[in-house]
Amino acid sequence: MKVAVVGTGYVGLVVGACLAETGNDVACADVDEDKIDALKRNHIPIYEPGLEPLVVNNQRDGRLQFTTDVGHAIRDAEVVFIAVGTPPDEDGSADLQHVLAVAETIGLNMDRPKVVATKSTVPVGTAEKIRAKIAEHAGVEFHVCSNPEFLKEGGAVDDFMKPDRIVVGVDSEVAAEALRVLYEPFVRTGNPMVLMDIVSAELTKYAANAMLATRISFMNQMAQLCEMIGADVNLVRKGIGSDARIGQAFLFPGPGFGGSCFPKDVRAILRSGEEFGVSLEILKAVLAVNDRQKHRAFEKLVNNVDIEGRRVAVWGLAFKAKTDDMRESPSIDLIRAVLDGGGTVSAHDPEAIASARRIFGDQISYSEDAYEALEDAAALVIMTEWLEYRNPDFARMQAAMADPVVVDCRNLYQPDRMRKNGFKYASIGRETV
């Protein structure tokens, strides 16, 4: 099938590469000439495991093309995916200007019937706005549908190739059949393609992310309670996660959620609730808890060491492992608080150093080696759960640091082990050593 994907950001690039991998003829289109030129040279602008070989191999074999001629890509396609960004507006709602600009371009290039699928995360009612914008210019039949993505950063390729489910909101059998054909290779093992009305599909994306964000904030509050009463949040997590009705996923306490999805999407669904007269009180609490949680790392740090005039080492800058994404990462809040408190920062991250430089410039120092970041540090704060941090050389750590103080915001280590190794150790929802 001939497919156009308009937008080569995180979602568009993964969608285009994965659809090309299953034999489709895919054109990824974007108005950013520098980005397209880089992609043609196989320079991937994001770190996502497994994505680069898909781009390289499918571009080499002619199934994947990158172009700035958006109109041509649309005219040549049977199915067009809209995958441009929807950044938050000042009131928290999703900014649809890029989505509607693409819809207008589609209408202007609608030379034959096509299916238009929205991959961008958009609020309820966007499909009708897209339909209206296309209809202003199109002189032929077309079909609009909603096909929200459920890709997690660090595992997006696997999520697309082996999905838990594929959600498609349609109001025509033509659109339903086109998406069935396109996604048939991905649901052969039995995971469902869930067909529903368009409005329900639009809401499903926001509802899913809001639920996951709620679980994280809930466990972060339980962690605070554990600290006050002397319980171990890891044991509590295992205890409640063993209940099949609850499950283990997204029950890990930490420094607060960040990234491009959870904060933005929770704010957007709150804004949608306001527009329709529904006050989503639970989600207001989710954001409030998360905002407070982002300050907990700094509070634990200064409760255990004086940082003024001293170096603080930070392991992990990305909002989660297996990505270089620092959007709304809790590490940003920590680093700014340390700098405001008179300390200096030496940071390490396997993939996010370039992202950090764009935010902090030369305000902090950067280390290519995790142990190098510890030199003469008054404390280490662990913010991201990269695998290489899970079993370090504790003797080497202690020898490098000025004071053996560790604030572990991912609960990577056991308190007893840190005690035996001579560290002062604070984690989330457990005893402080």
Q: Tell me whether strands 114-118 and 142-146 are parallel, antiparallel or unpaired.
A: parallel
Residue in this structure with the two tokens 């000042």, named with its chain if needed: 90
HEC string for 157-182: HHHHHCCCCEEEECCCHHHHHHHHHH
- HSE-CB at 369 with a 13 A cutoff on CA atoms is 7
Degrees, nearest 5: CA angle 406-409-412: 75
**Of 28, 226, 261, 409, which is the active-site residue?**
261
Using CA atoms, how far apart are residues 328 and 193, in angstroms rounded to an integer? 32
* 28 catalytically annotated: no
| Side-chain-side CA neighbours of residue 90 (13 Å) | 0
- Name which of 115, 151, 219, 207 is nearest 12 in CA terms: 151
DSSP letter assigned to residue 380: E
Strand partners, 94: 88
Total residue count of the chain as it appears in this document: 433
Q: How far is CA 370 from the centre of its chain?
A: 24
Query: What does 382-403 look like in DSSP terms, one character per residue?
Result: E-S--GGGSS--HHHHHHH-SS
Q: Give 82's contacts (C-beta < 8 A, 6+ positions apart).
A: 6, 7, 99, 102, 103, 106, 116, 117, 118, 119, 120, 130
Place of tokens 């990305």: 318
The two structure tokens encoding residue 291: 């905002």
Cα–Cα distance, 48 to 160 (Å, whole number): 13
CB 317 within 8 A of CB 331: yes
CB of 42 closer than 8 Å to CB of 55: yes
Q: Could you give the residue numbers annotated as active site?
A: 261
